[in-house]
Chain A
Amino acid sequence: MSQAAQATATQAAGNGQRISLLRVLGPAHVWALGVGIVLVGEYTGWNFAADKGGALAALITCWFVGILYTSVAMIDSEVTSTVAAAGGQYAQAKHIVGPLMAFNVALFLVFAYTMLEVSDAILARDTIVAFAATEGFHGDSFIALVIVVLAWLNYRGVLMTLNVNFIITAIAYVAIVVLFFSVQPWSQGVVLKLNELVTPQNALPYGWIGVIAAFQFAIWYYLGIEGTTQAAEEVRSPSRALPYGTMAGIITLLIAAALTWYVCASLLPWEYLGITVYPLWDAAKMTGSPFLEFLLFVGTILAAVASANGCINDAARAWFSLGRDRYLPTWFSAVHPKYRTPYRSILFLLPIALAFAFIADINQAITFSILSGVLQYTFMSINIVMFRNKWPLGTIRRGYTHPFHPIPAICLFLLCAITFFAIFLGYGSQLIAMVIFYVIVSIWFHFYRYRYVRRGDQFTMPWPKPKGY
């Protein structure tokens, strides 16, 4: 153990003066955080993949992107069960690749989650407006309500935040399962009409290039599952709870994604599926059952709320970690003495989310979020290889070791490359604008901001020196 870390620990135990985040969470909370953020993707967003490539493309990419995310979950579980710190992938990058990468990764995280939160708030509003069906009612107050109430919940403590998330995520998930079993999935032709809606002529309207293009929004089936790692500093046993929660989460989502596609593609023509903002709710309307319609309306709202809730939690922790290492002013690294939350980061990100929720539209916000996500996954595939090289198996204690290395890393890298190409098809200028932004802030950080950072102190894990240095 390093001397500095030991000294810090002793001091912490000795005077009890330090204010740190509270360690109260278990594996169920980790699941609720991961699945809570992602499940909204089944309620909206994934269906834009049908827009880009047709209904069948949405299914094919659902499987391939499922592989991508299984790799993400495996890799993430290994690294984060070893580097257990708030900030998740940020702390991983700092220990394995270096400070500039860490700074970028933290920004990927903050962007991906804040823009996801924005699209959640927009979805909640649009769903309520459609439900109200009242002339002149635009529902902007619901954007404010969702964002402010959830920020308040996050401000008041992580345990209550994730308990709430567990319950609403579970209800939204059950809603999908109930819908699936209510439409007699075993007998096509009664309610579901898959073979009449997805015909050989329209299954792939753009051909195979459409399948590639659909990768972009297929990311939305699962985006955010990697957010489980943000809870690392607040779970009671990181090396156990994080791998369990994350793996259980990805399995849950693979099932939900498959059910969602099957029901929606069997009830809605692909052109409509590609543009609706609430495919599951629309599918429920087509069944003609008022109960299912209401259930999926509630599910859509709850999924949006759960996701925004988790996003506020994660974005704030990433921002908080940047402050703690002086990558940003240390002011952001304050922890609330009573609620033990990174309250200043939560408050700082609140108006940014509100501003974008009022000016952006939903598939733009989703694209911003997806871009930051994919930039991050590309990093993860390289990161795990460097991690295994610098600290080979056996040199440090890993909470979980993922199998078949380096196959998941290679899969992840290839699928990221395909997804970049997919974004280029139809959303290219947005991608370039985004990368230019990251280049500018990277130059700013490397040549200016980094001077305020303490060098050796950034490395906080009690590990031996990395191989090759």
Chain B
Amino acid sequence: MAKYTPPEQDKALQFVDVGFLILAIFGALWLPLQLGLAGAAKAIDKIENPTWELLGQNATMVSIWEKLGYTPATAHDIIQNRFHYNIDWLTLVLMAAVLIGYYVFLFWASDKEYREVIAEKFGDGK
């Protein structure tokens, strides 16, 4: 196989490439933060006039909470802030499809490129 000679890349275009990556990185990390998509999906199950008993804490736990400086009122938002795991099948299927599609593309495209690398490195003859 003929040796592939890559084109020389212009200095300005190199900056464009790096700029694109930085944009993509900030997009991936900062956008979810901005849109409020990042972080845990939790919600508070409110209890009116909480006491340690209503919050389900035994004597040992209460002594520790108090040592940490909490009262039933301030601990309420911590203790009652819960996950509600209900599996949304549509999102799950979507997520699985995105993940699997991503890996399939990765391995497929990598293999195509890899064959070229091996052909150039070791010559075409088997």
- Residues of A near any B CB (own CB < 8 A): 2, 51-52, 93, 97-102, 104, 111, 115, 193, 196-197, 199, 201-202, 205-206, 209-210, 213, 267-269, 271-272, 275, 282, 285-286, 326, 328-329, 331, 352, 355-356, 359-361, 363-364, 367-368, 378, 382, 420, 424-442, 444, 446, 449-456, 458-459, 465-466, 469
Contacts and interface: CB of A to CB of B under 8 A. Distances in A.
Interface in B61-118: 61, 64-65, 67-68, 75, 78-79, 81-83, 85, 87-88, 91-92, 94-95, 98-99, 101-103, 105-107, 109-118
User: Nearest 5 CB-CB pairs, A to B?
Assistant: A98-B110, A98-B114, A437-B28, A456-B120, A329-B14
A427 B68 CA distance: 29
Contact of B99 (A286, A427, A435): A435
Interface SS of chain A: helix, strand, loop or mixed?
Answer: helix
A90 B83 CA distance: 37
A454 B56 CA distance: 65
A435 B115 CA distance: 26
A459 B57 contact: no
A427 to B, nearest CB: 7
Contacts of A196: 58-61
B54 interface: no
Given A427-B39, A440-B24, A286 B64 contact: yes
Contacts of B67: 285-286
A451 B6 contact: yes
Size class of the contact patch on chain B: 35 or more
B28 to A, nearest CB: 3
A430 B9 contact: no
B61 A197 contact: yes
A282 to B, nearest CB: 7
Contacts of B87: 425
Contact of B29 (A282, A356, A440): A356
Contact of A202 (B40, B56, B102, B120): B56
A198 to B, nearest CB: 10
A368 B25 CA distance: 11
A425 B95 CA distance: 11
Contacts of B17: 328-329, 449
B94 A364 contact: no
A444 B20 contact: yes
A347 to B, nearest CB: 13
Given A98-B117, A440-B24, 6 more contacts: A52-B83, A104-B106, A196-B61, A267-B64, A437-B24, A465-B122
